[in-house]
Amino acid sequence: MSLRLALLSIVLCAPFSIFAKSPEQVKSAFLYQISKFVEFTKADENQAMSFCFYDIKQGLGAVLKNTPSLKINNKPIKVVLIDKKQQISELSRFCDITYIDETEEDDIIPLWIDTISSDTLTVGESINFLEKGGIAALIQEGNKIRLYINKQQLLRSSFKVQSRLLAVSKFYPN
């Protein structure tokens, strides 16, 4: 009986890391992990990995911004707030990974896809994003988040995606 009580008190007092994470936390972890398996063609190998978001006060941008100690291959990450009014060609020069959440997709995709640098990994949240030319999407299916990759757009990009990431991805279109 006392053993049960001790175990119950440990579970109740344990850090929040054992509790379920929000979809934003899971997607931000996915985004961070994805970046470890993408090799960008940068001039400066010591330059920080840039994650660009249209909102860093909430959602994925906020989660990554509030974790400044994260590194990718011993390089720091940089979370960048981008504005819809900025020139798209300018953004593509300093964004390694650009995340566009589902609420912004219809406004932003047509602007980004036509003019985006092939050095930028675009990640969205829907099949619609992939249909309109996005490279990857983190799609919630029930209680799981799945990574989908648009093969056609990936083949047009100048960065390399390691086979280990491709092995755990679904492809659209098949």
Q: Which residue has the higher pLDDT, 47 or 109?
A: 47
Band of pLDDT at residue 8, cut at 50, 70 and 90? very low
Residues 6+ apart with CB under 8 A from 154: 135, 161
pLDDT, tens digit, 9 for 90 and up, residues 113-149:
555 556 789 899 999 989 888 899 999 999 899 999 9
Instruction: Grade residue 9 by pLDDT with cuts at 50, 70 and 90.
Output: very low
Instruction: Go through the domains of the chain in sequence order and give each one's CATH number.
Output: 20-172 (3.40.50.2300)
Per the prediction, the chain carries an average pLDDT of 80
Side-chain half-sphere exposure of 68, counting CA atoms within 13 A: 1
pLDDT over 70 at 18, yes or no:
no
**Pairing mode, if any, of strands 121-124 and 49-53?**
unpaired
pLDDT digits (tens, 9 = 90+) for 26-45: 999 999 999 999 998 765 66
Long-range contacts of 158-165 (CB under 8 A, 24+ apart): 158/41, 158/118, 158/119, 159/38, 159/39, 159/40, 159/41, 159/118, 159/119, 159/121, 160/38, 160/39, 161/37, 161/38, 161/39, 162/37, 162/38, 162/39, 164/37, 165/34, 165/37, 165/38
135 φ/ψ angles, rounded to the nearest 5 degrees = -90, -40
pLDDT digits (tens, 9 = 90+) for 53-85: 989 999 999 999 998 889 998 889 999 998 876
- The token duo for 118 is 């092939």
